Structure 1
Amino acid sequence: MSDQAVLTEIKNGVAAVTLNQPDSLNALSIEMVKGLTRTMHELKHDASVRAVILTGSGRAFCAGGNIKGFSNVTTAAGGRKYMQDHTDFLKDLAQMEKPVIAAVNGHAVGAGFSIALACDFIIASHHSKFALGFHKLGLVPDLGGLYHLPRFVGMARAKELAFSDRTLSSTEAKEYGICLEVVEAERLLERAHELAATFAASPTIAIGLAKSILNQSFESSLEDTLRQEAMVQGIAFTTEDHKEGVRAFLEKDKPTFTGTYS
């Protein structure tokens, strides 16, 4: 499964997805959006994939939207259609019921920052930078940036970053809770694969069910969450991973999870 603008390699249950237009700092070209849309849809439904890594080739993770193409948008309806064409992959990325790790290897700017925020975890290299960047173009943060950023940093900090377009270093991003870890550049993909391997060996279905509730937790009441937990726990009880976990616990053994139902 590959595309010129988006490359995918699947090994041992981990899908490594690379944005592959380094000459443009992996800005979102039409080809890249099409590649991401196809790739995320396929990975979402591929039961053999139990964790995903998203990174960029070259010096940047993703430099955001293709600014040269903005001049083609001349009406509000055209702008809305432009954005709608970009949202399918983002929804599949954010709602995928398996862990997704952004390995940010350089600048994550504008839509690139939003894409990283849509992942479950961000691991960044020391020289990475993060910025919304829309303010300078007279635009509004998009691709879910206004949804995910407050969940990482709180509302006041999210407003400050959105209104000022201030650039964050990787160290600041970690202090704000945006990055899970910051590592040396040469260790970035190695660390991302270590974390992904841990998730790939975990009970995939249970993780996906928990993620589906966590993604809604800010909008749900306690009663809603308790009801959702009961529903998904009923599903989790039917999995082979649950049976394997109980067996391993009783036999004082290490479980081998397969991510399958009974």
Structure 2
Amino acid sequence: MENEAVIMQVNNGIATITLNEPNSLNALSGAIIEKLNHFFNSIKNDSSIRAVILTGNGRSFCAGGDIKGFSKVTSAASGRKYMQKHSYFLKELVNMEKPVIAAVNGFAIGAGFSIAIACDIVIASSKAKFGLSFNKVGLVPDLGALYHLPRIVGMARAKELAFSDRILSASEAKDYGICLEVVEEDYLLNFCTELADSFVANPPIAIGLTKTMLNHSMESSLEDILKEEAMVQGIVFNTQDHQEGVRAFIDKTKPNFTGSYQ
């Protein structure tokens, strides 16, 4: 297992996915991409998993694309195919109705930065570094960076970061809203696990639908959101979790949410 490109461990409803090629700073090798595609595809259909933590082994979260592997891209058609293969897991990460926390332990550079900000919440080690850095190899930001970054930091800041390839410290990333918290390296996974535990304790159907609505809320009008809320609320009114929540509230006890419909 130690030799696997990506390791997944599941405990108490939390899947912790660790990129595990530290010698290459967890750059997106073919083996890493294959494993991420597999794990995220399986997690979305596993009701026992209610939250995900994504992190890296060593001093890097993910140092971006496998530059040596770029030599395989010999035409526009092969470049398109290359990107489609690499973006599959990212779409699953964003669209799955489960919270995903990026535990950024070190370098989140290039596509590694893109992956981090595609997660629902970013928690950074004090040693973390963030940067797009695509210009250094003559490429444009990919894996959703041009979608997520301006929504987090604003358009002007996103352009400045993309055009300059400036590297941000963890504290700068927090100031820009890229990461929610900065914690000491030794406490990073414990902090993220405690945060994930707080998500796991809540109703998974309601959390998943909330994530889905928030993902497109910035492109929706208030009227659209109100209509969607009415439709979605109609669904969750008819879940066992809603009944359990009401019972626990009245009885002043802790609810046990199972993610079941009536």
TM exceeding 0.5: yes
Q: Which 4+ runs in 1 deviate beyond 3 A?
A: none
Residue matched to 1:45? 45
Q: Distance in 2 between matches of 1:222 and 1:70?
A: 44
Q: Distance in 2 between matches of 1:48 and 1:91?
A: 21
Residue matched to 1:241? 241
Residue matched to 1:168? 168
What is the identity, as a one-letter code, of the residue corresponding to 2:185? A
Distance 1:122 1:18, change over 3 A: same
Q: Which runs of 5+ in 1 are unaligned?
A: none
Q: Distance in 2 between matches of 1:260 and 1:106?
A: 38
Residue matched to 1:30? 30
Q: Distance in 1 between matches of 2:25 and 2:260?
A: 39
Q: Secondary structure at the match of 1:179?
A: coil
Query: How far 1:73 sits from its partner (Å)?
Result: 1.3
What is the identity, as a one-letter code, of the residue corresponding to 1:38? H
1:205-224 to structure 2, matched below 5 A, reads 205-224=205-224
Residues 14-67 of structure 1, C-alpha deviations (whole Å, 9 max, x = no match)? 101101111111000001100000000001111000010000001100000000
What is the identity, as a one-letter code, of the residue corresponding to 1:203? P
Q: Secondary structure at the match of 2:218?
A: coil
Residue matched to 2:252? 252
What is the identity, as a one-letter code, of the residue corresponding to 2:152? F
Q: Secondary structure at the match of 2:254?
A: coil
Q: Distance in 1 between matches of 2:94 and 2:110?
A: 17
Question: What is the TM-score with the length of structure 1 in the denominator?
Answer: 0.97
Residue matched to 2:19? 19
Query: How far 1:3 sits from its partner (Å)?
Result: 8.3
1:122-141 to structure 2, matched below 5 A, reads 122-141=122-141
Query: How far 1:164 sits from its partner (Å)?
Result: 0.9
Q: Which runs of 5+ in 2 are unaligned?
A: none
Distance 1:30 1:5, change over 3 A: same
The question of whether the paired residues in 2 share the 8 Å contact of 1:2 and 1:8 is answered with no
Residue matched to 1:197? 197
Question: What is the TM-score with the length of structure 2 in the denominator?
Answer: 0.97
What is the identity, as a one-letter code, of the residue corresponding to 1:159? K
The question of whether the paired residues in 2 share the 8 Å contact of 1:9 and 1:15 is answered with yes
Q: Distance in 2 between matches of 1:98 and 1:238?
A: 20
What is the identity, as a one-letter code, of the residue corresponding to 1:78? S
What is the identity, as a one-letter code, of the residue corresponding to 2:20? N
Q: Distance in 1 between matches of 2:241 and 2:157?
A: 40
